[in-house]
Amino acid sequence: MYPVFLIGGFGRSGTGAIHQLLRTHNKIFALPNYEFRLLTDPDGLLSLKSAVVDNWNIFQVDFALTRFIKIFNNLGSNYSGPYVRSNFNKFFGKSYMEALDQFLIDLGLVEYKGLWAGKSKLKQKLILKITKQNKLLIGNPKIRYCNNLTDKEFFIYSQKLVQRMHENCMLDSKKSFILLNEPNSTQNVQSSMELSGAEKIIIVYRDPRDAFASFRTKDWSPTKISDAINYFKSVYNRWFIEKEKISNNNICEIKLESLVNDSSKQLDKLSEFLNIDININLIEKSNFSPKNAHIGRWKNDFSIKEKDNINSAFSQILNYYDYS
């Protein structure tokens, strides 16, 4: 099995910069410009585990399996569904869908033609009633289920899924390590590591005020600044809880400003943590640009009153990460 590294962050904190930097390494494989998504996104592996392991019942499992297959297919496509330009089929090759097929076999998937109350349409119900349950006339709805698995079983199967997805591209590229950029893994760090098989996670952080300024420009940010502050703080607070669940030996926290201002030192830190030679030449080869860090942008993006509110709201985080 190939060793797996995770990248996590807090939204607009610089995970993309580290991703672009490390994917240039001749021993590390990572997607060119897309986050992995399959661990923590809704309907991904974390959601599926909840239904298959923790909250198992036939109805839950059917919905969860169907939704997982859908997100997997959506990520595979270039323009299908919400993940525009993900195109995992192109980057992973034929091993992508083959990995899904084997994963479903590992889970013990059973599927047959049928309808749950929560998935049926009135027209289909009427047809079944009139035709005395003739399922041939209601299209192609499926019910899927698998047995209730243990944590250990599910983690084994999900780790195999990650390895099988990467099988062809790892052989073709002759690389030795898998890098998964999964920013929201900070909110479910232990589960994300167990689902992926990662033993090490890189956490990228920056001045939360700059991250917040960038966050406020995105379509997924709340309109009211007070709501946006609460949203953003909750992400950090969750990380502080999750961090206690894993050993410090498995975490490397990288400060974006330090990466910009003292690149060599931060790359040495990454090199020691990952046990891979990482040097300054990677910056020249990669798409990483210090100019894109926008250090100090919060000072120009907010009014004096807003800056006072933000400083007060983020005081705990600012102290924790030693920002003045």
Record the tokens describing residue 272, joined without a space: 């020691």
In what helix (H) or strand (E) does residue 251 lie, and over which residues does it extend? strand 251-255
More confident residue, 225 or 148: 148
Contact between 310 and 229 (Cβ < 8 Å): yes
Shortest CA distance to 70 belongs to which of 61, 60, 81?
A: 81
Q: Band the pLDDT of 285: cuts 50, 70, 90.
A: confident
pLDDT confidence of residue 138: 67
- Average pLDDT of span 23-38: 94
Shortest CA distance to 230 belongs to which of 319, 317, 321, 293?
A: 317
The model carries a pTM of 0.93
- Whether residue 148 is predicted with pLDDT greater than 90 in this model: the reply is yes
- Whether residue 45 is predicted with pLDDT greater than 90 in this model: the reply is yes
- Average pLDDT of span 290-308: 91
Question: Which segment of 129-138, 267-276, 309-318 scores lowest on mean pLDDT?
Answer: 129-138
Tell me whether residue 301 is in a domain.
yes
More confident residue, 220 or 7: 7
* Number of folded domains that form the chain: 1
pLDDT confidence of residue 153: 98
Phi then psi for 25, rounded to 5 degrees?
-65, 140
Tell me whether residue 220 is in a domain.
yes
pLDDT confidence of residue 189: 97
The CATH number assigned to the domain holding 272 equals 3.40.50.300
- Give percent helix, percent strand, percent coil of the chain, each to the nearest 5: 55, 10, 35
Tell me whether residue 60 is in a domain.
no
Q: Which domain holds residue 284?
A: 1-27+176-324
Tell me whether residue 98 is in a domain.
no
Tell me whether residue 68 is in a domain.
no
- Whether residue 61 is predicted with pLDDT greater than 80 in this model: the reply is yes
pLDDT digits over 116-127, tens only?
777 777 677 676
Record the tokens describing residue 97, joined without a space: 């869908």
pLDDT confidence of residue 114: 81
Tell me whether residue 275 is in a domain.
yes
pLDDT digits over 237-251, tens only?
999 999 999 999 999
Helix (H) and strand (E) counts in the chain: 17, 7
- Whether residue 179 is predicted with pLDDT greater than 70 in this model: the reply is yes
pLDDT confidence of residue 107: 98
Query: Which pairing describes strands 110-113 and 142-145: parallel, antiparallel, or unpaired?
Result: antiparallel
Per-chain mean pLDDT for the chain: 92
Q: Please, which residues have CB within 8 angstroms of residue 196's CB and are 6 or more apart in sequence? A: 4, 6, 39, 158, 159, 162, 180, 182
Q: Which 3 state secondary structure label does DSSP give 174?
A: coil
Q: Band the pLDDT of 204: cuts 50, 70, 90.
A: very high
pLDDT confidence of residue 70: 95
Tell me whether residue 106 is in a domain.
no
Tell me whether residue 70 is in a domain.
no
